[in-house]
A and B are shown apart, each in its own frame.
Chain A
């Protein structure tokens, strides 16, 4: 019998459940290793060589090298673990969260100051809110593509 996963219909959202956790085990444990200063230094010196010490998939390594957090999450990454890469790069949590929307840092910060992203249209896949797949990327990046 299938497991109950009612959260699959929420737009722009990946729930880190046991299945994602299994997929992302080595990716997330690599991230944990960046909590040590000497590992951060080694990673920064040669990212590829450092990643090759971990039994991650090639695609996971590419996603990390690209700093594409949405891609990392699809491959089993969890944001609290991925935040260790951001810390290594000197990024704040707001910069990391914003990077997943396509918005510039300033656009994302302004959205938060004016009350955050609205829930309207963003509850279920198929509605028309800003987090829906057909409205990516957001911000100026999205407008340029549409122009």
Chain B
């Protein structure tokens, strides 16, 4: 049977991708960001899974206002990097895992989560920046990736509670897949940031740190937090953090295989407009 071995949490700031792609990663400003991922790159080399289930959001690239799926699971064999207006990032094409993706879709939809199945979907910085941070500049990503896009652009976005329960349904789905695959679930986006209006540039260090603490030790309680708290305290784009609860829900907790251990934790302000948060949790 397949099993979830670990989860990775990371911000997905587009400027991080640009810094890498334009050869600026050695600059002191960016070194402070990349230093937090040095451990993680080695960790991923030592713990390469068979599949990464990557939770992220599309930023008006694959999905315009023509269609706004709340949860979209990528079931295709491959996914091209999107041209977001600056040209596509020079990163490898993402290879999918259609068998596991279709299995998860079947199981999770039967568990009352109405996923949209997507077979053609360019993937933007939300997905490729975390891969770049964890893998560095590579000719091919280390394993297949199932993109899982969550609408956090148009309100109302799914609640933290729903995201956490969806994570649990994904855990159940993976456990029933009949092949001995090691699967990681990644949650991306955040942490505090606001990209619009006179309040742009908002950062809330204390709130972010408390979020990380609770994500590790009290995810069930954290999942009860209403949207308004994210928006008020962590900025209008800080709402992306609900996606971290999907990854956390897929991991162990009081009802599952037990609380995971913390392999790595990092926090830094700023990357462009954003507070960068990063965690690696391992199931015991």
Contact = CB atoms under 8 A, between A and B. Distances in A.
Interface of A: 6-7, 10-18, 21, 25, 28-29, 31-32, 34-35, 40, 69-70, 73, 78-81, 83-84, 86-88, 92-94, 96-98, 100-102, 108, 111-113, 115-119, 122-124, 130-133, 136, 138
Nearest to A129: B199
A116 B60 contact: no
Interface of B: 14-15, 18, 29, 59-61, 64-66, 83-86, 153-156, 192, 194-205, 207, 227-228, 231-233, 236-237, 269-270, 272-273, 275
A115 to B, nearest CB: 6
Nearest to A120: B204
B153 A15 contact: no
Q: Which 5 A-B pairs have the closest CB atoms?
A: A116-B203, A87-B85, A12-B198, A12-B199, A131-B199
B13 to A, nearest CB: 8
Given A78-B154, A119-B204, A11 B85 contact: no
A86 B15 CA distance: 14
A108 B232 CA distance: 21
A123 B155 contact: no
Nearest to B275: A116
A98 B59 CA distance: 19
A17 B203 CA distance: 22
Contacts of A11: 198-199
